[in-house]
Chains A and B, each alone.
Chain A
Amino acid sequence: MNFEPYLEKAKNLNDAASYEILQSLQKEGLPTRKSEEWKYFSPSFLEKFENFELKNTTEWKKSESHLRAHISVNEKTYSGVQIAKTLTSQGRESKSSGFIRRFVSGLSFGTVSFVMDSETTDLDLNFSAEKAFQVLGAIEIQVPEKQKVRVHIKADEYFEELVSSVFFKLERGAELEVYAVEVNPTDGKSIQSLRVDLSEESEFRYVSVLAGASSKRNNLEVNLNGSQARCSLFALSISGKNEKLDNHFFINHNAPSCESRIVYKALVSGQAQVVYDGKVYVEKNAQKTDSDQIARGLILSDGAELDAKPSLEVFADDVSATHGAAIGQVDRDEVFYLMSRGLSEEEASKLLAFAFINEVISQIIDKELRENTKESIEKKFGKWIQEVAHVF
């Protein structure tokens, strides 16, 4: 990809920061499928962002404790937020989310950075386009000490290509809950990157339900930088047809006495291809780390593919950590058990599929969102689950 026009523009705008980023992007070029990080998901569509006049524009709406950010390609100004200087990174950064962050921020000439005000408890981040068009958005948010915030991240309406990067920095004792629920996505291609850095005693909870995304890369990076920080990630992928969903989770234990937990589940049918790559690093000084990671998958058809690679690298010695994967088809003995209690084969298979996904959906604390999610999955996939039930 040629970043020249952007470099030119950065020069004209006197934007030294963007210039520097763009220069490094120009030097390294787009990653290719040869690199381990992009083996399953070609980043080549990023080329399409060339030659477009983009500006990272964000419209904020605030009502009481609820803040809505509309991130789109329209020229809008921001109001109602305090703009902070770009948050500095700390610790090891995964290659892919680092690249995406720089790509988005370079091409959109800057990152929207701000400190959350103390009244805000709810934040919606909507990435949307007015026309079927590319969307690009980089945003950085600092959550002040002890503040509790709930965030919904959504890709709205229709887009052809979406690349976004969201970065949260939690001050001491802050609590962040992020929901990424997409049950009726568009047909577009997207790469979404979320990074969360935690200070001591802060907590991050993540629940994602991605169903029916036609082509998506989902990067999540968590840095536990202060002692006694905790994170729990619950993620569910439901993919069918020719859909591609490429999940990369990366947790860094950079400080002692932190906890991390990942529960990943995938329901894959048709010819869909789903990847789960989960890496947990425990640095040398991160003693008394407590980390669990489990990936479970149900493959519902012969053509479906799930590649699950939970991994763990530990450099400290006083650590309790587990990781594992279990992938298979619906267990015939489970179906038989339910049938022996009077459920028909169809009811049994459906119940098992729902039981399987419920482990993640039940983690949505907000009752309305939880019930809506269940309902839309049932509406969209209930019939589909019944259809594939005959494969068992």
Chain B
Amino acid sequence: MLDIQNLHVSVDGIPILKGLDFQAKEGEVHAIMGPNGSGKSTFAKVIAGHPEYKVTAGTVDYKKSNMKNIDMLGLAADERAKEGVFLAFQYPIEIPGVSNIDFLRTSFNSICRHQGVSEMNESEFRNFVSEKSKIVKFDSSFLDRAVNEGFSGGEKKKNEILQMAVLSPRLSFLDETDSGLDIDALRIVADGVNQLKNKQNAVIMVTHYQRLLDYIKPDYVHVLYKGRIVKTGGPELAKRLEEEGYDGIIAESEKVIQ
């Protein structure tokens, strides 16, 4: 579904991703780990189409089942969203003045229009969202508040998962959705993601903690370091990182580079 070859990305002329390769198929869950500043969020934003992150080399192909390849780099962020790409932000943005439900409906309907599915009116949508809110155990008061305004850190993360539930994306990139969550919230969010994943979609999760992977079982764990994937393994790789830290793996990979 996603095939990335030799991706190079710069921000303000500073190279951040330096030859990243990555593949994901439908139905898979990938975990991406790596030290602070290694380029994980950059990777996420570039997939979602942030205009400030310039791709200087490489290809990103995206394919939905039974459809032809799409060159993702040719699409603006909103077009990618319409094709089923979703990013749960590490730091979700507050938008005072717009209610959560209006925002969700605008977003939902613009994606529906693109996909040729019929849009929902206000009351249909309210019912639909109220149902989805149960996934993250949100009561309806969150729907009428301004988007993320005054939400606690954990509530913002839950709100991202609510958006994911409403938009049912094909490819979800969750950037540290587990950070800042208490034990109960972590379980709620993880349960939510587990409910939303299926054979047709893929989930890529950036995390610093093995803990999340106890709840959401990854098929692959990748280590991103200095803008490249330096190691890929199964869930046992995350366990090893938890015990040993990054030093060993980084040293191994640097030997390979030299």
A339:B77 contact, CB within 8 angstroms? yes
In the complex, B92 has a CB within 8 A of chain A: yes
Interface extent on B, as a size class? 20 to 34
Partner among B52, B81, B95, B167 whose Cβ is within 8 Å of the Cβ of A339: B81
* Complexed CA–CA distance, A232 and B246 (Å): 55
Assess A340 versus B48: contact at CB under 8 Å? Given A334-B93, A355-B95, A355-B97. Answer: yes
In the complex, B209 has a CB within 8 A of chain A: no
Q: Which of B97-153 contact A (CB under 8 A)?
A: 97-98, 103, 106-108, 110-111, 114, 146
B95:A342 contact, CB within 8 angstroms? no
Contacts of A331 in B (CB 8 A): 93
Interface extent on A, as a size class? 20 to 34
Q: Which of B145-199 contact A (CB under 8 A)?
A: 146, 163, 167
A342:B96 contact, CB within 8 angstroms? no
Contacts of A347 in B (CB 8 A): 78, 106, 110
B93:A351 contact, CB within 8 angstroms? no
Give per-residue flags for A331-350: 1 if the beta carbon is below 8 A from chain B beta carbons, else 0: 11110111111111101100
Contacts of A351 in B (CB 8 A): 98, 103, 106
Contacts of A340 in B (CB 8 A): 48-49, 77-78, 80-81, 86-87, 89
In the complex, A359 has a CB within 8 A of chain B: yes
Contacts of B248 in A (CB 8 A): none
| Closest chain B residue, CB of each to CB of A341 | B107
In the complex, A358 has a CB within 8 A of chain B: yes
Assess A332 versus B95: contact at CB under 8 Å? Given A341-B163, A343-B106, A345-B78. Answer: no
Contacts of A336 in B (CB 8 A): 45, 48, 50-51, 77
* Complexed CA–CA distance, A339 and B106 (Å): 11
Contacts of B52 in A (CB 8 A): 332
A333:B93 contact, CB within 8 angstroms? yes
In the complex, B76 has a CB within 8 A of chain A: yes
Q: Which of A309-365 contact B (CB under 8 A)?
A: 331-334, 336-345, 347-348, 351-352, 354-359, 362
* Complexed CA–CA distance, A179 and B211 (Å): 55
* Complexed CA–CA distance, A362 and B144 (Å): 14
Contacts of B95 in A (CB 8 A): 334, 337-338, 352, 355
A358:B97 contact, CB within 8 angstroms? yes
A352–chain B nearest beta-carbon distance, Å: 7
B89:A342 contact, CB within 8 angstroms? no
In the complex, B82 has a CB within 8 A of chain A: yes
| Closest chain A residue, CB of each to CB of B82 | A342
B241–chain A nearest beta-carbon distance, Å: 29
Contacts of B106 in A (CB 8 A): 343, 347, 351
Contacts of B77 in A (CB 8 A): 336, 339-340
Give per-residue flags for B35-49: 1 if the beta carbon is below 8 A from chain A beta carbons, else 0: 000000000010011
B81:A341 contact, CB within 8 angstroms? yes
| Closest chain B residue, CB of each to CB of A339 | B77
B93:A337 contact, CB within 8 angstroms? yes
A339:B78 contact, CB within 8 angstroms? yes
* Complexed CA–CA distance, A357 and B97 (Å): 8
Task: Supply 27 A–B pairs (Cβ within 8 Å), ascending by A.
Answer: A336-B51, A337-B95, A339-B76, A339-B77, A340-B48, A340-B80, A340-B81, A340-B86, A340-B89, A341-B81, A341-B103, A341-B163, A341-B167, A342-B78, A342-B82, A342-B107, A342-B114, A343-B78, A343-B110, A348-B78, A351-B98, A351-B103, A351-B106, A354-B98, A355-B98, A358-B98, A362-B97
Contact surface of B with A, Cβ cutoff 8 Å: 45, 48-52, 76-78, 80-82, 86-87, 89, 92-93, 95-98, 103, 106-108, 110-111, 114, 146, 163, 167
List the 8 closest A-B pairs by CB distance, nearest first.
A355-B97, A339-B77, A342-B81, A341-B107, A358-B97, A337-B93, A355-B98, A339-B78
